[in-house]
Amino acid sequence: MSIPRVVIAGCGDIGSRLALQLQGSGWHPTGVRRNLAKLPSGLPGLQADFSLAPCPAGWETLAPDYLVYAVAADQHDEAGYRRAYLDGLANVMSWVKQAAQSPKRLVFVSSSSVYGQAEGEWVDETSDTCPIGYAGRIMLEAESLAGASRIPATVVRLTGIYGPGRERLISQARQGQYAAEHPPQYGNRIHAEDAAGLIAHLLQADWAGKEIAGCYLGVDDNPAPLHEVLAWLRKQLQVEVATEAAPMRRTGSKRCSNALARSTGWAPRYPDYQKGYAALLQQLKAPNA
């Protein structure tokens, strides 16, 4: 059997973790990003700016069995999101067409911001999408663009990603910040390694001939309210006094289900925030962390 070839457009944190996991499974990933110096050592790369319409040099030499679009916006406003998720995806799909490439599947990495539920409701892939901000609206437009492609597409809606370099809640807990208990502000999380692992699992399942759905939620087993997570982190950090309220970055409050993802045989390595953050805190204590 041939070695599966994967082009990862937007090979940043999640894309790089995905590439390394696939390499470890014997696959052949290529990372595409503007700055090739930031790719993991030993990973083949191609330089490209997704905001530019002309096909980048070398794209025509790729022969992807799979295309993963995992771009992250470098400007967190409506224009930046539109450029990254809509214009960028449209450009990449144009490059694929120009090069007469025929991937088996496109995986578009999206976000749970497409949901606007705010009362602690459980949501899954069939729940209404009612985004309350530009991020969710643009993500929904990009999902539709991916779904309209001639290539079979799967959307992976990742929730609050944490891990090395993604330590905002740890910083807040270290500062003694707390969140109100009533009403509870439910949040959803996934460790960066599990986010990449879910995408790798879906690609491998598709390559093995298993049926893959058009949408999955990438989340751990235990959505939890922010006050609980911050209290647990303060305890681990031995911060005894909660001194100030944590700023609310999101207005929604929902609980995302990973039942569909788990039904494929995937299981998160870090099934809840305690296990994930315990590992991260241990890593931060290590020399040269």
Domains and CATH numbers, the chain: 5-165+189-220+253-269 (3.40.50.720)
Distance CA 159, CA 273 (A): 13
Give the single-character DSSP code of 287: T
Sequence-distant (6+) residues with CB within 8 A of 107 are: 66, 67, 68, 69, 153, 154, 155, 156, 199, 202, 203
| pLDDT in the model for residue 289 | 54
Q: What is the pLDDT along the chain (289 residues), one digit of tens a residue?
A: 689 999 999 999 999 999 999 999 999 999 999 999 999 999 999 999 999 999 999 999 999 999 999 999 989 999 999 999 999 999 999 999 999 999 999 999 999 999 999 999 999 999 999 998 999 999 999 999 999 999 999 999 999 999 999 999 999 999 999 998 988 999 999 999 999 999 999 999 999 999 999 999 999 999 999 999 999 999 999 998 778 787 765 557 999 999 999 999 999 999 999 999 999 999 998 766 5
pTM given for the model: 0.96
Distance CA 252, CA 58 (A): 43
| pLDDT in the model for residue 242 | 79
Nearest by Cα to 9 from 72, 61, 102: 72
Alpha helices in the chain (DSSP H): 13-24, 78-81, 88-98, 134-147, 168-174, 192-207, 226-236, 259-263, 273-285
